[in-house]
Structure 1
Amino acid sequence: MHQYPPPPPDPRLKPRYQHPQQNRPRRIVLLDERRRALLQALDEQEEPTRFHKKVAWVAAAGFFTDAYDIFAINIAAVMIGDVYGSCLSASQDLGLKIASPVGNFFGQLFFGWLADQIGRKKMYGVELLIIITATFCQAIAAGGHAINLIGVLIFWRIIMGVGIGGDYPLSAIIVSEFSGTTFRGRLMTAVFAAQGLGNLFATIVSVIVLSAYRHAIETRDSIPHLDHIDYLWRLVIGMGCIPCVFALWFRFTIPETTRFTLDIKRNIQRAEQDVAIHLSLDRFRYDPSELPIKLDVPQASWEDFKNYFGDPQHSNRVVTLICAAWSWLSFDIAFYGMGLNTYYILSALHYYGPKAPSIPSIPNTPISICVHNLIFAFGGLLPGYLAAWYCVDKPWGGRWRIQMLGFTALTLLLVIMSTSFEKLSATKSTQNVFIALYCFANFFQNFGPNVTTFIMPGEMFPTRYRSTVHGICAAAGKLGAIVSQVSFLKLMDKGGTGKFVKDLLGIFAVFTFTGLVATYFLEETRDRSLEDLSFEEQVGFVTGATPQRPATFQRLIVIHYRTSSPRTKRGK
């Protein structure tokens, strides 16, 4: 019987909708659902466990040291200048202060990329070893006829900066990927707040050693007393090694994050096993009889990177990257411009008197510098961190609102301090008004973009690029710090000693305003899963699976090969 071909489809009928999971093998669908169930279990943790607190403590110890090493140089440079000359030259002071941000820039890019390539765990602790080694070498550094001490210190501070830079993406991503959505912001804020404690501890240590050796400082013209001051700056810098040594062992024992194991190693059985062991989620049990498999999921590559950020249908991805990086850069221009140059700003205000030296030296102002650092720490720095920790996960708070508020307040405060600088420098009472405004600026730095620019890049983008992108954003911030420090020290005396400081504060206000504009285009990340913030569809994320030989079977093959291979005859 003649078979007629089927009639052509009616063009008036719409094609039937097909779900992304339709026409896929049932096994792959189940693996995709297992992956999403595992990630959902991580997100639905309501309170931090003992394991979470351990991870946060270990990460915070690194940030404590980072801040201590960065800000201890302020007082240490004064002592170094007094021992090896009346004071440091402007170029030497600049070199010591920008050496660490320069190292940060390269460390953040390199370790951020490396953590996405070979793992968070494998790199966690390596950067701490670099910090310990470089800090110790600074404390025992010496000069000679062939090499200058300042050059040696700058070299080791760059190396130390590489380690500190690596700590930013690693700590942020590890804490972020282990945390649940309800407490992720608080845990990351607690880690970053250790920076404020490190800054405070650097000041306290400086006050203690300066007070203990006050007699040597006041009679510094004799050689033995100069030796005492030489001990002081080495002690102040070397103390930065202590918390690192305590945290080093714990960093090497932190397990790999579940998301890295799942999406980059593609080992779903190991991810479920880790969750059951470390996070006490009993519903995930490791089945030793299950054949090991490797998931087929999107993998990091240059081509995939270009496709991900260059997708015209998801232009918000590249916009988010640019705005997150620019908000960090614009903030660090103001943060480091003010934080590392407090003495110069207050000297231009005549707070230390009209005859204060252009560069601080031991007999004049070291105790005053420490006292004012303590005032700024207790009056603005620590309260800002506490307020951020309390509000960052609240429904009426969140990262986006805090960052918008912080940039707005900083812009207004910097405009007021810039335009009223000369009036506020007239009397002691008006100078105290400036100090109060400075404390408010410190408060809104930390209850604002100093915390949130660290948190938000660690929550956005897919696991395969999350650490890389955080490193890019952090490196943009350190680029701003370098530009800020170089520009400040080169321009502050334009038109006369300290005459351009008020204009620099106005320039900082312009950059904080641009940070406010960039923040407007970012999304709120509070109470959202990391997968939701990756801007990728999660249903159908697993496209296949490849069976793997069990590890025991592989070992049997190796043992059989070694025992069955002919022995080589030894020569006589």
Structure 2
Amino acid sequence: MSGAFALKDRLPSSFSGYVPPLPERDNSQIQYTYDEKRRIALEQVDEASFTIFHVKACLVAGIGFFTCSYSIFAIGIAETIIGLVYGVEGAKLEPKSELALKVSTQVGIFFGQLVFGWLADVLGRKRMYGFELMIVILGTLAQACAGEARNGRTISIVVMLTVWRFVMGVGIGADYPLSAVITSEFSPKKVRGRMMTAVFAMQGFGNFAAALVAFIVTQAFENQIKGDEEARQDSIDRCWRLLIGLGAVPGCMALYCRLTIPETPRFTMDVERNVEQAVQDVNTFLTTGKYNIDSDAVIRRGIAPKASWADFKQHFGQWRNLKLLFGMAYAWFALDIPFYTLGLNTPGMLKALGFISKDCPREYKATNAHNILRGVSRGNIILAAGGLIPGYWFTFLFIDSWGRKPIQIMGFIVLTILFISIGIAWDRLHNHILGYGGNVLVLLYCLANFFQNFGPNTTTFIIPGEAFPTRYRATAHGISAASGKFGAIVAQVIFSTLRAQFKEKPRPDDQTCNDPDPFVKYLMYAFSFFTLTGAAATILIDETKGRTLEDISNEDQDQFISGPGPLEIESHDAVDYSGESHPLHRIHSSEP
């Protein structure tokens, strides 16, 4: 028959998955409208068992996220190494240079989240996925190969790195809405939170891997770093290039899989309005884990709500939708201020926590390079393993039972208490930094890392990927994520300014700097304000646990999509209620 396509042939004889109930119809002829076909296909996705396809989807998204996280946080260690080669008097980069290296990435991420979030809703998730990873790989490799002119004026290493980190940041920013939305739209309802958490947890492993690679390359070049001046400079220069460049390796491994991942059926149905292709895709990837598309097939599009500026204003002009977007955007903003201030300035924080030498700047130079780099990398490993990674996996365990909203509120409140406690106890603990004071500060810092991830850092990524209509889901996620990165940018600028004002003065040779960053305690009080307001903003957000994406979207799903006429099913082909069958065995159209 013209336009016929059989789903029965694609189902294995052993298939016994969830079979949505058929509407009662005349047995002589059963007609399925576009809307009913959409409903059944979505129920297949929502009620599906966890299969190898879902494992692949998590791995493909997760490896790319690992690459992005590695590249973001590696600069916190790399800027220390770069300063020992290109810094003032072979010691440290100037504050404005450090700021440029860190903020350029965040600015790129900000634009990437907004632009690619919108493009993913216009052009499709599949078309953008993989392309953004190419940008990350290009930016990463270009940084590793960057150099400067002999006098450092015509071409500056800091300028070149800043440009390429911005480019890389655009690709990283694109990965946030794309990975979140693709994972959520493919996930079964009952495990959606855990699948999205598993993807986002790769951020912690990327952070850990950056510290581990830094430690390994530092130890590998130990003899050269401790050698004469020329050997030391060359080996230190190789260290930061290896540290940054190796971040492209996992991205290259994931690139092919991202380029070949199928389009999500929700986008195909709700945005492209190609219901027949979406139904075919659902049954194909759920049963075979593969993706096929007939380029010669005739496409007949249904009628469904279309994305437009007028429709966007109409949807988000309703308070119930606007409050969701505002609550998610502000919560992410409030979280990223402390998260990236601490995460991107780890060397300075490690110095304050007593992990590395507290020598004044005059001793912070290349002759002590090995001790400095080993201390920075070792401290990052301990903080990541002791707080960051466990936090993600506690969220993984409880996200689909406790829910997103309780975890986010709990995390914000505990962070508020921890930041206030650190601020109050800072002076007393620092007077005993080499004894119990240092241990207590490290414990509190690890707890803060833990409750950032067993809390708002994970949930602010998950909820926007669930809470909006398909035609605006990636755009809204990009807006929410970009709000967070705006907070990170503001925090970095303020942190750099405060650091310059509180910068320690040189001391006599027989003294050390008692408190490397005396303004940290004031930052903790500021952090507590934002985390408390983040908890308040979370009240505006609806719980998404156990609900379908269509229910969460706040749109009426009755007659959501329609076609020019009914889609007919011959009863002898369609109605088979044995455990081996599916309601869409043989569907064809009588439409002109």
TM-score, structure 2 as length reference: 0.83
Q: Answer yes or no: is the 8 Å Cα contact 1:106–1:475 preserved in 2.
A: yes
Partner in structure 2 of residue 436 of structure 1: 443
The alpha carbon displacement at 1:230 in A equals 1.3
Cα 1:467–1:287 change in 2 (3 A) is: closer
Are 1:534 and 2:553 an aligned pair? yes
Q: Answer yes or no: is the 8 Å Cα contact 1:294–1:546 preserved in 2.
A: no
Return the letter of the residue paired with 2:112. Answer: G
Are 1:201 and 2:209 an aligned pair? yes
Distance of 1:238 and 1:435 partners within structure 2: 30
Return the letter of the residue paired with 1:340. Answer: L
The alpha carbon displacement at 1:31 in A equals 2.1
- What stretches of structure 2 of length at least 5 have no aligned partner? 1-28, 505-516, 568-592
Return the letter of the residue paired with 2:494. Answer: S
SS in 1 for 2:33: helix
Match of 1:475 among 482, 486, 491: 482
Are 1:96 and 2:101 an aligned pair? yes
Q: How does 1:8-407 map to 2 (within 5 A)?
A: 30-45=33-48, 47-85=49-87, 86=90, 87-144=92-149, 145-219=153-227, 221=229, 223-280=230-287, 292-311=299-318, 315-348=319-352, 352=356, 354-357=358-361, 361-362=365-366, 363=368, 365-394=372-401, 397-407=402-412
Distance of 1:160 and 1:70 partners within structure 2: 9
Q: Answer yes or no: is the 8 Å Cα contact 1:293–1:545 preserved in 2.
A: no
Distance of 1:400 and 1:159 partners within structure 2: 34
**How many residues are matched?**
514
Distance of 1:69 and 1:529 partners within structure 2: 34
Match of 1:499 among 515, 518, 523: 518
The alpha carbon displacement at 1:372 in A equals 1.3
Distance of 2:536 and 2:470 partners within structure 1: 27
Return the letter of the residue paired with 1:215. Answer: N
The alpha carbon displacement at 1:267 in A equals 0.6
Q: Answer yes or no: is the 8 Å Cα contact 1:169–1:458 preserved in 2.
A: yes
SS in 2 for 1:545: coil
The alpha carbon displacement at 1:27 in A equals 10
The alpha carbon displacement at 1:224 in A equals 3.2
Q: Answer yes or no: is the 8 Å Cα contact 1:424–1:430 preserved in 2.
A: yes
Return the letter of the residue paired with 1:88. Answer: L
The alpha carbon displacement at 1:453 in A equals 0.3
Distance of 2:203 and 2:81 partners within structure 1: 23
Structure 1, residues 64-83: CA drift from partner, whole Å, max 9, x if none? Answer: 11111111112211221112
Cα 1:546–1:235 change in 2 (3 A) is: farther
Partner in structure 2 of residue 522 of structure 1: 541
Distance of 1:287 and 1:368 partners within structure 2: 57
SS in 1 for 2:277: helix
SS in 2 for 1:262: helix
Distance of 2:446 and 2:62 partners within structure 1: 24
The alpha carbon displacement at 1:346 in A equals 4.1
Q: Answer yes or no: is the 8 Å Cα contact 2:77–2:347 preserved in 1.
A: no
Return the letter of the residue paired with 1:62. Answer: G
The alpha carbon displacement at 1:347 in A equals 3.3
- What stretches of structure 1 of length at least 5 have no aligned partner? 1-25, 549-572
Cα 1:163–1:39 change in 2 (3 A) is: same
SS in 2 for 1:279: helix
Structure 1, residues 12-36: CA drift from partner, whole Å, max 9, x if none? Answer: xxxxxxxxxxxxxx99982222211
Distance of 2:459 and 2:254 partners within structure 1: 25
SS in 2 for 1:371: helix
Structure 1, residues 35-56: CA drift from partner, whole Å, max 9, x if none? Answer: 11211221112x3211111111
Return the letter of the residue paired with 1:38. Answer: A
Structure with max Cα Rg: 1
Return the letter of the residue paired with 1:70. Answer: I
Using CA pairs below 8 Å that are at least 6 residues apart, which structure has the higher relative contact order? 2
Partner in structure 1 of residue 571 of structure 2: none
- Of stretches 134-143 and 360-369 in structure 1, the one that deviates more from structure 2 is 360-369
Structure 1, residues 332-385: CA drift from partner, whole Å, max 9, x if none? Answer: 001011112233234345664553439965525221111111111111111111
Q: Answer yes or no: is the 8 Å Cα contact 2:270–2:304 preserved in 1.
A: yes
Distance of 1:82 and 1:28 partners within structure 2: 73
Q: Answer yes or no: is the 8 Å Cα contact 1:259–1:463 preserved in 2.
A: yes
Cα 1:481–1:454 change in 2 (3 A) is: same
Match of 1:509 among 515, 518, 528: 528
Q: Answer yes or no: is the 8 Å Cα contact 1:294–1:547 preserved in 2.
A: no
Distance of 1:387 and 1:209 partners within structure 2: 31
Cα 1:148–1:531 change in 2 (3 A) is: same
Structure 1, residues 211-258: CA drift from partner, whole Å, max 9, x if none? Answer: 11112222352x233112211111111001100111111111101000
Q: Answer yes or no: is the 8 Å Cα contact 2:32–2:566 preserved in 1.
A: no
